[in-house]
Amino acid sequence: MKSAVDPGMLQPATPPVDRLGRGLRDLRVSVIETCNYRCPYCMPEDSTPPESALDRARRLDFAQIESVVRGFVRMGVRKVRLTGGEPLLRKDLPLLVSRLAAIPGVEDLALTTNASLLAGKAQALRDAGLHRLTISLDALDPEIFRQLSGGRGDVADVLAGIAAAEAAGFSSIKFNTVVQRGVNEGEVLRLVDHFRGTPHVLRFIEFMDVGTCNGWQPQAVVSSRELHDSIHARWPLRPLQPGYRGEVAARHAFLDGQGEVGFVSSVSEPFCGDCQRARLSADGQVFTCLFAAKGSDLRPAIELGGTAIEARIAEIWGQRADRYSELRDAGRRDSKKIEMFFIGG
C-alpha cells in the first residue's frame, strides 16, 4: 500500500527549517470548510456563518490539491492527513485519496472524520488506498452524543461507520475524544470500556481555545493528568515510549494487556518544540499553527506551477515562529484566530 521509494531521492537539497529550528514532516489538508455537525466546541450553531456564506467556489480542485501535496512532499513531508470541516462531505473523496496515495514519498495517508457518513464510504476509501482512519467520538450515550454534535448527529450512524470500516480492513482505528468538564466526563470510562480489548486506540484531547466562537474557559478543560488518573484507578496503565519523534499523544498501555489509550495535552503540556506540522485550508491557504490569525495564500504559486509551490512553501516555513500553546499561560491569547472547522485540527 505504501509507496516504495528511496526517501533520499525526495529530500530537498536544503530541507526547510523554521525560525525555531523545526523541520516540516506533517501536512493536514482540509478538503472542505463546512460540516453536517455543529459541535459546540468547534462550529457552534449560533456563532458560525451560515452555509450560504461559505465560499465553495474558492475550494482547490483535486488536481490543485495533488500539486500542493507533491510540493510539500518534495519539501520533506511524509505524513498527510485529510480533514475538514467534515471531509466525507467532499464529493468523490476516494478519487482524491487515490491520487494522493500514488504520490511517492507519502508514507502515511490518514483521514479524520466524524464518521456520520462512513458506513457508505469506508470500502471505497480503503480501495482507494487510504492507510488509516481517525474517528471523532465524544460520547456513546445517544443524548450526550446528540448534544455534542449540535443536535444533528446520531451515535448509531457512527457505530455503523465503525463496523463498516472494520469490515473494509481498517484494522486499528484511532478515536479522538474531547472531554469538557460538566459535559461528557461521565462518558470517559464508558468509552474506555468499549474500546479496551480491541485493536483500536482511544485518545483523549484536551479541550482547546481554538477559534473565537466556542466560549472556551480554562475551567472547562479536563487535564490529561486527571483523565489518566481516573482511568488508571479502574484499569492500571503504564507509559509507553513515543512511536516516533513529535508524536502528539502520550501513549499508555493497560497493564492487563488489553490495548492502549493516548492523551493529547495541548493545553496542560504544550508540545510546540516538536511541531513539524503545516495545514492547508480548502481554499489554498497555508497555516503554520492551529492558532494562527491568518494563512498564506498558495494559489498564485499553484497557478505558476513548476517549482513555484516548493519555493513558496520554503519561504512560508522559513518565516515560521509559532508556539501559541507555550505562550498561552504567559497570557498571550490572540483575539484573532482561524476557526478549527476551517483548517481541520
The footprint of ligand SF4 (CB under 6 A) covers 35, 37-39, 42-43, 84-86, 114, 136, 270-272, 275, 289-291, 322-325, 341
SS3 assignment for 33-58: CCCCCCCCCCCCHHHCCCHHHCCHHH
Q: Please give the angle made by the CA atoms of 44, 46 and 49, to the nearest 5 degrees.
A: 85
State the minimum distance, in angstroms, from the CB of residue 217 to ligand SAM.
12
Distance CA 58, CA 332 (A): 32
State the minimum distance, in angstroms, from the CB of residue 306 to ligand SF4.
30
> Between residues 67 and 116, which has the closer beta carbon with respect to ligand SF4?
116
Cell digits for 153? 448527529
State the minimum distance, in angstroms, from the CB of residue 87 to ligand SAM.
6
Selection from ligand SAM, ligand SF4, none that 290 binds (CB < 5 to 8 A by kind) is ligand SF4
Distance CA 153, CA 35 (A): 11
State the minimum distance, in angstroms, from the CB of residue 289 to ligand SF4.
3
> Between residues 86 and 260, which has the closer beta carbon with respect to ligand SAM?
86
Q: Are 334 and 293 in contact (CB under 8 A)?
A: yes
State the minimum distance, in angstroms, from the CB of residue 245 to ligand SF4.
14
> Between residues 101 and 221, which has the closer beta carbon with respect to ligand SAM?
221
CA-based nearest residue to 209, from 230, 245, 178: 178
Selection from ligand SF4, ligand SAM, none that 278 binds (CB < 5 to 8 A by kind) is none
- Residues of this chain that interact with ligand SAM (CB under 6 A) are 35, 41-42, 83-84, 86, 112-114, 136, 176, 178, 205, 207-208, 210, 214, 340-341, 344-345
Phi, psi of 11 (to 5 degrees): -65, 130
Selection from ligand SAM, ligand SF4, none that 265 binds (CB < 5 to 8 A by kind) is none
SS3 assignment for 90-137: CCCHHHHHHHHHCCCCCCEEEEEECCCCCCCCHHHHHHHCCCEEEEEC
Selection from ligand SAM, ligand SF4, none that 187 binds (CB < 5 to 8 A by kind) is none
